Structure 1
Amino acid sequence: MPAVSSFTISCEALNVDQTFSEGDTIIGQVILSLSKATKAKRLFVKAKGDANVHWTEERGDTTHTYSAHRRYFKLKQFLIPEDSEETVLPEGNHVYNFSFRIPSENMPSSFRGTHGIIVYKLEAKLSRSWRIDSTAQKEFKFVSKSFSNFRTLLNEQTGSTEKRMGLFSKGQVHLDATVNKTAYTPGETMHIFAKVDNASSRNMTPKFSLIRTFKFFANGKSKSTMKTVEKMVDKVITPHTQQEVKCALKIPTDEMPSIENCDIISVTHQLKVYLDISFAFDPEIAFPVVIAHPMFGAQLNGSLDPYPAGVYGGPTNSDFPPPVAPYPAPPYPGSHGYPDAKSPYVPPPTYPTDPQVYSGPPGAYPYQPPPTFRAHTNPVPLEPSPYGSPFSSSFSGLQYPPPVLAFSMPTSSPPNQPAFASVSPSAPSFNLNPSAPEMNADFLSQTNDAPPAYTLLFPTSTPGKSEDI
């Protein structure tokens, strides 16, 4: 009679679907039932995730084998210490508790296909002297939460194509198509709108197809299979007519999710909108489609935000605080990512180590009105420069417009004091009066009189006295 009556492993479910994702903690038990006292060397449990690909191809009399393997994580926990001597386990049931935290990394969802699998499982092993190891295994379903750009999956997709007919017909056809978004869940309906301009002499039929493609990669080779998941056909469009077509294509409830984050296995979906024309190449528009797990139905329908409110950007594993949202805030749906309505701008955080910027003594640069150049003005900023005063040690960069400094020399300096001690900066002054008197005379009514003297238009600095040139 064997000493090990039963050896099982179990884990607690986190949700109704009994799925796990990145960062979740697996809590379980290893149950060992013994019919008699037994000596055990080691008892451990591990959690791991692996992807494997394998297929063969025959070419004549030669068979070629292709295989690949990827290890995503492996965690191990000893229930009986490895370095200890043989432990005597008494007869009866022995229950060992364990817990693992799944790494918060980008890993693909569970998958089983013809030429490859992605499996996540728990495995317990009991080692005894002069005995074959006893093992217990349990697979758990892993659902990836990694999306390349979640918000773009909710955007509408549009496309267009045009085809000129061949030898057996005349004219051309133009097709425009729109689909309401990119990501869906099984059982959801895709809403498609198409506009057809049939300026040819042929009949054509609008068709809509949802296609799934499996691809497996190994040793520099690939193997793919394609299947039409769902298809709908609309009415025939006669020659020289325009027609708008609406289609509601429902995704099957048992359709498997897309896998796009595994380098040896991929599951992709595609929506094809095309016109079926006899004896001619069909014009078509292809839209990428992502099928997500049903647990993401609320987020993909817009009722829930996948990221916490008030956070700018996607989830992160960094220990640093999230970045401050720029102003203006990005136009995300709902109120997520926006600051309070009464305060539309959130200033950046301040830290004690920030250097203090010196803006100069008060009144050093009094406000001056802008100069006038004909009908245009050159405004001067009212606020002080954010780079501080040019005399401050924290000054860096250029100011625009650059300040103009006027220095005044004192007539006499106090004893033991340098002559430049009283130098103080001042802003430039602007003369708003014209440099020459205005001439308001009407040029059409001018006479042949001699023009005014030069000294009248441009008087010298000393009245009554002219300078030699």
Structure 2
Amino acid sequence: MTVKHLSVEYNKVNERGTFSPGDIISGRVIVVTSKETKVQCFLVRAKGKAEVTWCEQGQTTVVHSDKKKYFYFEHIILQDKSKGDGSEIIGAGRNVYPFTFVIPNIDMPSSYEGKWGKITYSLRAQLTQSIWLVHKTKTEFPFLTKSDFPFASKSEMIIIGLKEQQCVTRISFFGSGKVTMNVTSEKMGVKQGEALGVSVEVLNDSARTVTPKFYLCEKQTFVAQSKRTVHTNDILFGIGDSVPAGTSRIITKVLSIPPQLPPTFFNCCMMKLEYRLKVTLDVPLAKDPDIKLPLVILLGLPKPHQQKPKRSIWFRKLPG
């Protein structure tokens, strides 16, 4: 092995460490060799893509998958244009090769990884010495859409209500009486890391003690070749004070949105991410009534990005 190290690095363009449509991404490919090395081809690629895959179990297993490419660029650093005899030479020691790509200024979704799909933006370098000897390395870079509302194309009216108060009432009947629950949230749109005030008014005219619980409901939807699957996840936000039988009480909770929670998005044809705020009443020996309110998670304040460690791969490619 004459190639001892192969890596690809990029330069940050902002404090968040992210890239957006129209940005220039530049960097370098670093190769360390023990001696002069002949190569057939040496290149670096920039790629943005979305892909989904899931299985349906039945009498037979059916795999549903699809891909969408947002952009693909290739820059050839060295290439043997003769007969593939490896006449291009990389010198011994540490070699650095710069590159620059311009990200297309079009609407593209932010980086995301869900249960059955992901949206990734990456840089890949490949050094081919022969048909049996190929070196590869890859690093992903975080990408953010330019749109503050990556769901506006689906519903313009949702933007109007982002700062409006929401209120929903539910009346549930039990054998011993009824329970009325009024849920009010201060707004529908909240940024990553922000707090959301929620008020629950419970009128307990039953003979049972009830306890409100607060959940953040995540809904991931994936589409492949006209097929659709959904993955949901409920995150317990907190538990309110119990309301004894024959009493009423107003419970107020301040719920903090996790700063690492991915924002709501609809601007990908193969997947989307939605949220709901769910408040349930824990009722002994009965089905728990619940109220769901729409919740839009918006991009929060910039934070420095911790770049993932690069991974280098060396393998021997066998014929056939």
Q: When the two structures are superposed, what TM-score results if normalisation uses the length of structure 2?
A: 0.77
Instruction: Map Cα deviations across residues 35-85 of structure 1 (whole Å, 9 max, x no partner).
Output: 33334343321111122222333324x222222222122122222368678
2:251 paired residue number: 245
The alpha carbon displacement at 1:277 in A equals 3.4
Larger Rg: 1
Work out the CA distance in 2 between the residues paired with 1:92 and 1:205.
Answer: 68
Q: Deviations over 1:342-388 (max 9, x none)?
A: xxxxxxxxxxxxxxxxxxxxxxxxxxxxxxxxxxxxxxxxxxxxxxx
Superposed, 1:20-59 pairs within 5 Å as 20-59=19-58
For the residues of structure 1 that align with 2:105 and 2:180, how far apart are their CA atoms? 47
Q: Which amino acid aligns with 2:101?
A: F
Give 1:10 shift: 0.6
Partner of 2:108: 107
Q: Does 1:157 align with 2:155?
A: no
- Unaligned runs of 5+ residues in structure 1 are 298-469
Identity among equivalent pairs (%): 32
State the AA in 2 paired with 1:34: T
Residue 75 of structure 1 is matched in structure 2 by 73
What's 2:63 paired with?
A: 65
Return the letter of the residue paired with 2:168: S
One-letter identity of the residue aligned with 2:21: E
The aligned amino acid for 1:70 is K
Q: Which amino acid aligns with 1:214?
A: Q
Contact 2:167-2:185 within 8 A present in 1 as well: no
Task: State the 1:287 CA deviation.
Answer: 1.7
Over residues 275-323 of structure 1, what are the superposed CA-to-partner deviations in whole Å (9 max), with x where a residue is unaligned?
33345554432122233444369xxxxxxxxxxxxxxxxxxxxxxxxxx
- The 3 A distance-change label for structure 1 pair 35 and 236 is closer
Given that residues 185 and 296 in structure 1 are in contact (C-alpha distance below 8 angstroms), is that contact kept between their aligned partners in structure 2? no
- Counterpart residue identity of residue 105, structure 1: I
In 1, are the aligned partners of 2:170 and 2:291 still within 8 Å (CA)?
no
> 8 Å contact 2:166–2:187 — kept in the other structure?
no
* Distance change in 2, residues 1:152/1:96 (3 Å): farther
Question: Partners of 1:39 and 1:248 in 2: how far apart?
Answer: 63
Matched with 2:292 is 286
User: Once structures 1 and 2 are overlaid, which stretch shifts more, 192-201 or 96-105?
Assistant: 192-201
Corresponding pairs, count: 293
Aligned to 1:142: 143
Structure 2 residue 228 is the aligned partner of structure 1 residue 222: yes
Q: Any conservation in 1 of the 2:265–2:274 contact (CA below 8 Å)? A: yes
Kindly indicate which of the two structures has a greater share of residues assigned to strand. Answer: 2
Describe the SS at the equivalent of 2:57.
strand
8 A contact 2:166–2:188 mirrored in 1? no
Partner Cα separation in structure 2 for residue 292 and residue 20 of structure 1: 18
| 1:264 corresponding residue in structure 2 | 270
**SS of aligned partner of 1:286:** strand
Q: Secondary structure at the match of 1:141?
A: coil
Cα separation, partners in 2 of 1:46 and 1:233, compared to 1, 3 Å: same
- State the distance in 1 between where 2:239 and 2:176 align: 23
Cα distance in 1 for partners of 2:40, 2:120 equals 29
**Cα offset for 1:11?**
0.6
Does the C-alpha gap of structure 1 residues 93 and 153 become closer, same or farther in structure 2, counting only changes over 3 Å? farther
How much is the aligned-residue C-alpha RMSD, in angstroms?
Answer: 3.1
**Which residue does 2:176 correspond to in 1?**
169
Q: How far apart, in 2, do the equivalents of 1:92 and 1:30 lie? A: 14
Partner of 1:303: none
Contact 1:156/1:178 (<8 A) preserved: no
8 Å CA contact 2:16–2:302 kept in 1: the answer is no
Give ranges in structure 2 of 5+ residues lacking alignment.
153-157, 304-320
CA deviation profile, 1:208-238 (whole Å, cap 9, x unmatched): 2112233333344434333222332222334
SS at match of 2:213: strand
Report how far residue 207 of structure 1 moved. 2.4
State the shift of 1:271 in Å: 0.5
TM-score (norm. length: structure 1): 0.55
- Cα distance change of structure 1 residues 22 and 58 upon mapping to structure 2, 3 Å threshold: same
The equivalent position to 2:279 in structure 1, one of 268, 273, 278, is: 273
Instruction: Say which SS state the counterpart of residue 301 (structure 2) adopts.
Output: helix
Deviation, 1:121, is 0.7
Residues in 2 aligned to 1:101 and 1:128: alpha-carbon distance in whole angstroms? 29
Distance 1:221 1:278, change over 3 A: farther
Flag the structure with more relative contact order, 1 or 2, with Cα contacts below 8 A and sequence separation at least 6: 2
Seen in structure 2, the aligned counterparts of structure 1 residues 164 and 287 have a Cα distance that, compared at 3 Å, is closer
Kindly provide the CA deviation profile for residues 74-102 of structure 1, in whole angstroms up to 9, marking residues without a partner as x. 12222236867853444343322111122
Q: Distance in 2 between matches of 1:118 and 1:137?
A: 15
Q: Secondary structure at the match of 1:19?
A: coil
Change over 3 Å in CA distance of 1:228–1:162 after alignment to 2: closer
CA distance in 2, matches of 1:296, 1:137: 25
Query: Which residue in the other structure is 1:125 paired with?
Result: 126
Q: How many angstroms does 1:270 deviate by? A: 1.4
